A and B are shown apart, each in its own frame.
Chain A
C-alpha cells in the first residue's frame, strides 16, 4: 500500500510539566488511513499519554506530530476536533444525561461557540446510535447503563463527531467476553467504512483479534512495531511484558498464554 500516513509521529519526546522522567522517548509512528492500530504494552508504558499528545492536550518537548500531513500545531482547535475523536477509558458523568443528549455532545466540533445543536445534529446522533445497534437506548439515563452499554455509548458519541480518526483508550478493559467481542467487531467495522482506528490495550489477544498494525511499548519507548503477524511473537511479547508467556497457533489464528511452567 502506498497511502500517505493520516497520522504520524516523528521522534517525539515528552515529560510532564512537573515530572522528572520522560514518559515518551523518541516515539516515531506512522498510521495509514482505514487501518486498525493497537498500541500494546504493560501498565505505565505511556500508552494513554501517547493518545493525549495526539489529541494536542499536551505539546511534545521534542519531535513533531502530523495529522493529515500537516503539523498538529497548524490545525485550529476546532479543526482538529473534526479530525480526531477520543473515547476515554471511562467517563464519569455526574448528572443524569439521557443517552441521546450525551451522544449529541459529539456534535460540538461542528458548532460555533454559542451555537446550539440543530435537527441535523440530532439526526447525526441518532445515526451513530443506529450504527452501533443501540438506538433503543436513546432515552435511557447514561448512569443507569451496564458496563458494555456505557462503552458503546461512549463510542457512539465519538462516532457522532464524524471524524476520520478515532482514538480509544483501553476500550475493552472492563468488559466481559461478549461485550469485548461486540466492541472489537465494531472497531473492525468502523475501519471497513474508512475510519482510522488507534486503540491502546494491555491485552495482546485484543490486538490479535482486530488489529492490522501493532506497536509494542514499554517504559515510554517503542520496542517493536509493524504488522500484527510480525510483532506479536513469543519473543517480542515476552520482552515487552517482561514475563514468561507463549504465543501458540490455534485454528489459523494465535493465542497468548501466560507461561506458568517452572523456569
Chain B
C-alpha cells in the first residue's frame, strides 16, 4: 500500500467515524425507536437532557473505549512479538472484574465507586504480574510476563467466582454479571471525564512512539544494536498501553475481542508497519465499538451487553480472517 492510498483510506475511515458519531447522537429509542430530529432539542427539555447528558458522553466513551483497546492491543502484540495477545491479558481485565464485583458486594454500588475500584484492582493486577514476572526463574522476559499474566488472571478470576458465589442472587449477582458482560449504559459525563485525561495522554504517547514500536518488535539484540534501550522503552509503552486499557475497562467492563481483532484488521488493510497500523487501529477501533454500542442500546427496549456484541462480531470476523486469509 502506498502512503497516498493509506492517507485516502484513513481519511475515509475518519469521515465514516465522524458521521456515525453524529448520527448516533440523534438515533435511539426516544421518543420512539428511530430518529430524534435536532429541532426537537429546543422544544423538548427531556430530549435535550437525553442528548447532552446521556447520548453524547456515551458516544464519546464508545469511541474512546474502542480506540484505547485497539491501540493497546496493537502495542502489546508488537512488544510481545505475538499477534494473538490482547490488551487485558496481563491481569488487567480480570483485576478490573474483581474490583467491580468487590465494590458491588462490599463497598458501594454507585457507578463511580465501582469504576474506581475496578481501576484500582486493574492496576494491582498489572503490578502483580510485573512483580511476579521479575521473580519467575524461567524463560526470557516475554515468557515470564505471559506466564505471570496467566497466573494473576486466574487468581482474580477465581476471586470473581468466589464473590459471585457469595453475592445476593436477586440484587448483587445480576449487577455483577451485567458488569462482567461489559457495557456503557451507566456512562455520564461525571464518570467519563475522569478517565479521559489518563487514556488520552496514553494514546498520545502510543501515537507518537509508533515508529519505535517497529524497532521494539525486533529481536532483543537487534533492537539494542539499533540504539534502542529495549527494557526502558518497552516499559514506557507497556505502561501507556495498559494504563489506557485499565482506564477504559474500569468504565466499560470487559469488552472482549476489540483489542485482538481490530489490530488484525488494521494490519490487513494498511500493512504491519505501526506508522500506519496504529492510527488505523485507533480509528477502526473507535468505529467498531461505536457501532456495537449503537446496536446494544437500540435493538431491544432493554440493553444488550456491549461485550456480547463485540465478542460476537469480533470472533466472527476473526474466524473469517483465519479461514480466508491466515493470521497477519
> Do these two chains interact?
yes
Contacts from A to B (Cβ < 8 Å): 52, 55-57, 77-78, 80-82, 84-86, 88, 91-98, 101, 105-106, 108-109, 111, 113-117, 161
> Is the beta-carbon distance between B83 and A57 smaller than 8 angstroms?
no
With A101-B272, A116-B275 known as contacts, the answer to whether A95 contacts B217 (CB < 8 A) is: yes
Question: Bound complex: CA of A91 vs CA of B227, how far in Å?
Answer: 17
Given the complex, which residues of B lie within 8 Å of A81, measured CB to CB? 225-227
Selected A-B contacts with CB under 8 Å, 19 pairs: A55-B224, A77-B229, A80-B227, A84-B225, A91-B218, A93-B217, A94-B81, A95-B217, A95-B328, A96-B267, A96-B271, A96-B272, A97-B271, A101-B272, A105-B214, A105-B226, A111-B211, A113-B212, A114-B208
Given the complex, which residues of A lie within 8 Å of B168, measured CB to CB? none
Chain A's interface: helix, strand, loop or mixed, by majority?
loop
Given the complex, which residues of A lie within 8 Å of B78, measured CB to CB? 95
Question: Bound complex: CA of A80 vs CA of B224, how far in Å?
Answer: 10
Given the complex, which residues of B lie within 8 Å of A52, measured CB to CB? 221
Interface: B209 (CB within 8 A): yes
Given the complex, which residues of A lie within 8 Å of B225, measured CB to CB? 55, 81, 84-86
Chain B's interface: helix, strand, loop or mixed, by majority?
loop
Least CB distance from B317 to A in Å reads: 18
Given the complex, which residues of A lie within 8 Å of B215, measured CB to CB? 105, 108
Q: 1/0 per position for B56-100, CB-CB distance to A under 8 A?
A: 000000000000000000000010011100000000000000000
Q: How many residues of B contact A (CB 8 A)?
A: 27
Interface: B44 (CB within 8 A): no
Question: Bound complex: CA of A161 vs CA of B215, how far in Å?
Answer: 13
> Is the beta-carbon distance between A108 and B226 smaller than 8 angstroms?
yes
Contacts from B to A (Cβ < 8 Å): 78, 81-83, 208-209, 211-212, 214-215, 217-219, 221-222, 224-229, 267, 271-273, 275, 328
> Is the beta-carbon distance between B228 and A97 smaller than 8 angstroms?
no
Tell which of A92, A98, A114 touches B219, judged by Cβ atoms closer than 8 Å.
A92
With A81-B226, A161-B226 known as contacts, the answer to whether A98 contacts B221 (CB < 8 A) is: no
> Is the beta-carbon distance between B218 and A106 smaller than 8 angstroms?
no
The closest CB in chain A to the CB of B137 belongs to: A18
Question: Bound complex: CA of A52 vs CA of B219, how far in Å?
Answer: 13
Tell which of A92, A94, A95, A109 touches B226, judged by Cβ atoms closer than 8 Å.
A109
Least CB distance from B129 to A in Å reads: 21
Given the complex, which residues of A lie within 8 Å of B81, measured CB to CB? 92, 94
> Is the beta-carbon distance between B219 and A88 smaller than 8 angstroms?
yes
Question: Bound complex: CA of A84 vs CA of B226, how far in Å?
Answer: 9
Question: Bound complex: CA of A25 vs CA of B323, how far in Å?
Answer: 53
Given the complex, which residues of A lie within 8 Å of B209, measured CB to CB? 114
Question: Bound complex: CA of A84 vs CA of B273, how far in Å?
Answer: 25
Question: Bound complex: CA of A78 vs CA of B226, how far in Å?
Answer: 8
The closest CB in chain B to the CB of A163 belongs to: B225
> Is the beta-carbon distance between B221 and A86 smaller than 8 angstroms?
yes
